[in-house]
Amino acid sequence: MALAPMLPGQAIKTPGSIWAKAIELANEERKKPGADGRGDAYCYFVGSRASGKSTLLNRFLYPTRAEVPKPSEGIEYTYARKPAAYDHEKKDLAHIWEVGGSQEFAEEIANSDQLFLTAKQVTTAVVVIVVDLSDPASVLPTLLYWVEQVKKKLAATYEKFEKKGLQLPEQLRQRAKSKLYASNEDKDVVYHSGISLVVAATKYDVFKTSDPEVKKVMSRVLRYIAHAHGAFLCYLSGLHGSGGDGSGAEDAALLDNFTRLMNHLIFTGLEKKPVLKMQPMSDHNGPITIPAGADTFKSIGRPRGATEGSVTAGMAEWRDLFEKMFPGVREKEAKMSAKGAKFVIPDQYKEEEVDSVRQRKLTDLENFRKEQVATVEAAKKKALMAKAQQQETAAKKKAAPAAGGKPGGTSKPKGSGDATPPRRPSGPGAS
C-alpha cells in the first residue's frame, strides 16, 4: 500500500528525523540562562563641539590609551565586542556612534528615521550626553537640548508601537522604573525614558578650581536634571593623562567607574541594576558620581527653599539661578538654535584647489536652480496668458448669438425700409 504524500513542512516535524532533532536543540538553547535574544546594543555619544566626546569614547574603548583623537565632524561609527555572559564562544556586539559637527547636522541625525533611537534600537539603546565643565555657560543649553531631542524622538518611536497596539513602550518605562527607582521616593514624578541615559561632565580638572558656590550651583543643576530624567551623572577629568598634580589616581577611578557603568548598560542593560565600584558622591567640592535612582529632589533642594512644587517649577528656579551664576547662557542657546550653521572643515583638512572647485560647483548649482525657477515662472505666466485668451474667445462666441442673429449673420430690426409689406385681402369687397 502506497504511503500518502507528505504536506509541505510535515517532513521536518516527523519524530526522530534530523530536522526534528535540530528544532529541539534550538529550543533548548533558547531556554538557557542569558539566551534571551537581547540583540545588538546601540550607543550614541552626543554633546557640544569640543566637549570631549571623541576623547571620552576613545578612553572607554581603550582605557589605557591617553591619546588625543582628531576632532570629529559629522557622524563617526565604531563598534565594541565582548564575550557573551553565558556563552564565551559567542560575542555580544555594540554599535557606537559619535555625533559631532554643527548643531544643524546634529539635529538632522536626531530627527532621522533610520538612525538615533529607532524602533529597532530602543530596547538596548544607550545615550551619553557629554557636557563641558570648562565652558560652564554651555552646560545647561547642551544638556537641555539633547534631553529634549531624546524625549522627542522617543515619543515618535513609541507612538509607532502604540498605534499597532504593542505594549513595549510601557514595558520599557516600567523596566527602568522597577530596576532603578523601585525604592526611590520620587519614582512616580521622574520621567522614565525606557532607555539608558548618561550625563558625562568632562574636564572637571579645569573646573575644580572654581569658587565653591559656583561648583555648588553647577552640581545641583546637573543633579536635578539628571534625576528628573532618570539619568546617571558622572564627572570625569584628566582624560588626556595626569597633569602631574597628584590627581592621577582620582582621574583613573572616575574613568574606571564610567567604563564599568557603560559596559553594564551596553552589554547587560537595564534588566539588572548596575553595581559600581565607586560609591555615590554628591558633595559639590568633589567630583560628582550619582547612579540613576540614588538621588532625590529633597536632597538636591530648591534655590528658593521650596520643599513642594512640580518638577517643572523646580527646573525653572534652577535655570534662573544658573543664568545669573554663568552669564552667556542665552547667547549659547541662541547660537545652538540658529539655522544655517553649515558643515565646518577644520583648517588642517583644507585644500585650496579642492575648495575652489567646490565653490565653483556650488555657484553653478545655485545658478542652475535660479534658471529652473525662472523657467517654471515663465511657463506659469505663458499658461495663464493662454488661458485668459481662451476665455476671451469663448466669451466673444457666447456674446454673438445673444445679439439676435445666427452666428456670423446680421440681425434686422422691425420697421426697416426693406421689410415685406402686408398682403392685401383678395375677393369680393376688397378695395
- 133-150 pLDDT, tens digit per residue, is 999 999 999 999 999 999
Q: How far, in Å, CA of 51 to CA of 61, rounded?
A: 18
In a domain, 381, yes or no: no
Rounded to whole angstroms, the Cα distance separating 431 from 429 reads 6
- Separation between Cα atoms, residue 120 and residue 420, nearest integer Å: 96
Instruction: Let me know if residue 202 belongs to a domain.
Output: yes
pTM for the whole structure: 0.70
User: How far apart (Å, rounded) are the C-alpha atoms in residues 181 and 388?
Assistant: 72
Most confident of the following: 101-105, 110-114, 226-230, 375-379: 226-230
Q: At 401, is the secondary structure helix, strand, or coil? A: helix
When pLDDT is cut at 50, 70 and 90, the band that residue 88 belongs to is low
Cβ 105 vs Cβ 343: under 8 Å:
yes
Q: What's the grid cell of residue 428?
A: 369680393
Is the residue at 324 inside a domain? yes
Which three cell numbers mark 374? Answer: 525662472
Per-residue pLDDT, 131: 95
> Whole-number mean pLDDT of the chain?
82
pLDDT at 27: 59
Task: Report residue 167 as a C-alpha cell.
Answer: 505594549
The residue behind cell 533548548 is 28
The length of the chain in residues reads 431
pLDDT of residue 271: 87
* Residue 384, domain member (yes or no): no
CB atoms within 10 A of CB 372: 10
pLDDT band at 242 (very low <50, low <70, confident <90, very high): low
Confidence band of 423 (pLDDT split at 50, 70, 90): low
Q: How far apart are CA 205 and CA 326, in angstroms?
A: 18
Among the listed ranges 117-121, 271-275, 303-307, which one has the minimum average pLDDT value? Answer: 303-307
Q: Is 79 helix (H, G, I), strand (E, B) or coil?
A: strand
pLDDT score of 4: 52
Domain count, the chain: 1
Q: Which residue has the higher pLDDT, 304 or 185?
A: 185
User: How crowded is the C-beta side of 157, counted as CA atoms within 13 Å?
Assistant: 28
Q: Is 412 contained in some domain?
A: no
Q: Is the pLDDT of residue 24 over 80?
A: no
Look at residue 271 and tell me if it is in a domain. yes
In a domain, 300, yes or no: yes
Q: How far apart are CA 232 and CA 100, in angstroms?
A: 22
CATH of the domain at 104: 3.40.50.300
CA dist., res. 205 & res. 327, Å (int): 21
pLDDT on residue 110: 81
Highest mean pLDDT among 222-236, 247-261, 267-281, 407-421: 222-236
DSSP string across 111-125: T-SSSSS-TTTGGGE
Domain-embedded: residue 98:
yes
Over the stretch 307-323, which tens digit does the pLDDT of each residue have? 667 899 989 999 999 99
Supply the range of the domain harboring residue 73.
Answer: 36-337
H or E element in which residue 248 lies: helix 248-267
pLDDT in tens, 326-383: 988 888 777 766 554 455 555 655 677 887 887 888 888 888 888 888 898 898 889 9
